[in-house]
Structure 1
């Protein structure tokens, strides 16, 4: 939450998530390293970048940065930077320009065309992990020890987390942000989980995920919640 005497800049930065701002600042440091002439493997000290400006810069220089990143390779010959990462460099540089009152380079034809060309020529298929099946989930849940006095509490918690993520299709960030106050057991329906903010709800309007009761107690998320609640109360 912003302080009572927050400046316009504080409110402007609050328009983005803290993770986005951290990523942008990291990208801007990499841009400063590139402008200072550091190679990928070279270590730079903070004081060596203090005088390196990242805004305003010539759009042609930004285009050259993008080309260098697109051509960078790993020791095994693979691409060091994905097109999505290179696009984020542009977003970070545009953010820095806009907040300093300069025209974002990403709006210029040269940067747009170079970025479009990188996406067309450097894109690779996304390798996605296979989703967990219900059978695999059951096997995993049954292997968690909930009988041992020392590890039983953690095991009960882990079972609930696994079931919440599987049944509610929670992102990791949403799952870890849940608190006990966000959960409510409704007889005959299941658990109502209030998601205060998510990647698709940056304004924090919030929404309710309903974790419905299941026929099998092993894979029933509300059942796991009840077991965890009773353990916490005890």
Structure 2
């Protein structure tokens, strides 16, 4: 039985760990330095998250095959169907499926990638057998996929009012969280995109408010980039540029090596949160330090980047403090909230995609259908 780890070792002779999903390359063994450059180039063709996920999926499949006595590579189509079917039938103690269909779909993709990397055909005709199995699994799953609720403008205002505090040290977390929430909502950001922002990605604009540069996203793995504009707000409470600048003023004190005393002084001098500070002339910074950072006790700001998971947990925590049910919300609620609120306000899909970066209306239609069902609906004009 073939024992392969992450996910195949046979991509290039002498190169070491392969890049998942790439065809095997023929040719002579390379010198060590050249082989290392090739390895780095191939690894860069897929995201680190995808490599980690595929590696984990391959370990799961190869361990399952070892326990069952099946050959993992090349795998027979029936072996893949049995593996996916068993995973689909696995349930948690509460009776719910242990694996979402999206997880099983990724696992099937990982197996195809492993076979392609090893230079052998995918199970079945081009992976069609795995796709057929996944279609059958989807038909059996009658429950609608669970989605977090969108956070609408009124919900956001409720949360922002509950976290507003001028007192040390809570004011530090309040300033960061307000900036995360408003940037995430107004910019229709994914939580991973928020976490990836650096200080240099904040571009002040005298006319527009703030431009935020997204260097790479889930649907832009090649890094073409996207600029999202956050306009000046009417209300200081919900003005995204104000929130960003308040947080950046605190970071300036932290990054200036002034320590705790400088940060406390910056908190005291941050001004009345009920007044605008966004019209003040701002210079763009070239600092590549993270924009949104982790916090420690006592108001300390860490140098480490706030993770996407931390964004999710922060939103849940702040929602609960505002009296909302935290189980209904998550990091995606900000992006979903933007789309839903925009539809409710009469925006068309093209205008919404300008901010979200969606390539088509397919995903937007889900929000339109599920969260704004009366927008453009003839039922409102039949005289009931």
> Is the shorter-chain TM-score for this pair beyond 0.5, marking a shared fold?
yes
Task: Give the match for residue 204 of structure 1.
Answer: 223
Q: Which residue of 2 aligns with 1:127?
A: 146
**Which residue is 2:123 aligned to?**
105
- Tell whether 2:115 aligns with 1:85: no
- 1:180 aligns to 2:226 (yes or no): no
In the alignment, the residues of structure 1 paired with residue 61 and residue 237 of structure 2 have an alpha-carbon distance, to the nearest angstrom, of: 51
Q: How many residues align?
A: 220
**Partner deviation per Cα, 1:35-76 (whole Å, 9 max, x = no partner):** 1227xxxxxxxxxxxxx9632221221111112122222223
In structure 2, which of residues 227, 235, 248 is the aligned counterpart of residue 216 of structure 1?
Answer: 235
Counterpart Cα distance in 2 of 1:69 and 1:179: 40
Residues 53 and 10 of structure 1, relative CA distance in 2, 3 Å threshold: farther
Q: Is the 8 A contact 1:192 1:210 kept in 2?
A: yes
In structure 2, the partner of 1:58 is: 76
SS of corresponding position for 1:205: coil
Corresponding residue for residue 194 of structure 1: 213
Unaligned runs of 5+ in 1: 39-51
Question: Where in structure 2 are there 5+ consecutive unaligned residues?
Answer: 1-32, 254-384
1:179-204 residue CA offsets vs partner (Å, 9 max, x unmatched): 11000111131100000000011001
Q: How far apart, CA to CA, are the structure 2 residues paired with 1:104 and 1:167?
A: 43
After TM superposition, the structure 1 stretch with the greater mean CA deviation from structure 2, 16-25 or 81-90, is 81-90
Q: Choose the corresponding residue for 1:96, options 114, 130, 136.
A: 114
Once the two structures are TM-superposed, the CA of residue 122 in structure 1 deviates from its matched residue by 2.5
Answer yes or no: is the 8 Å Cα contact 1:212–1:221 preserved in 2.
yes
Instruction: Return the alpha-carbon distance in structure 2 between the equivalents of residues 230 and 82 of structure 1.
Output: 43
In structure 2, the partner of 1:228 is 247
Task: Identify which range, 76-85 or 11-20, moves more after superposition.
Answer: 76-85
Q: Could you say which structure has the greater relative contact order, defined with CA pairs below 8 angstroms and 6 or more residues apart?
A: 2
With structure 1 as the length reference, what TM-score do the two structures score?
Answer: 0.85
Q: What is the aligned-residue RMSD (CA, Å)?
A: 2.3
- 1:149 is matched with which residue? 168
Distance 1:137 1:186 in 2: 24
Q: Which residue of 2 aligns with 1:49?
A: none
Residues 87-114 of structure 1, C-alpha deviations (whole Å, 9 max, x = no match): 1111111111111111111625433322
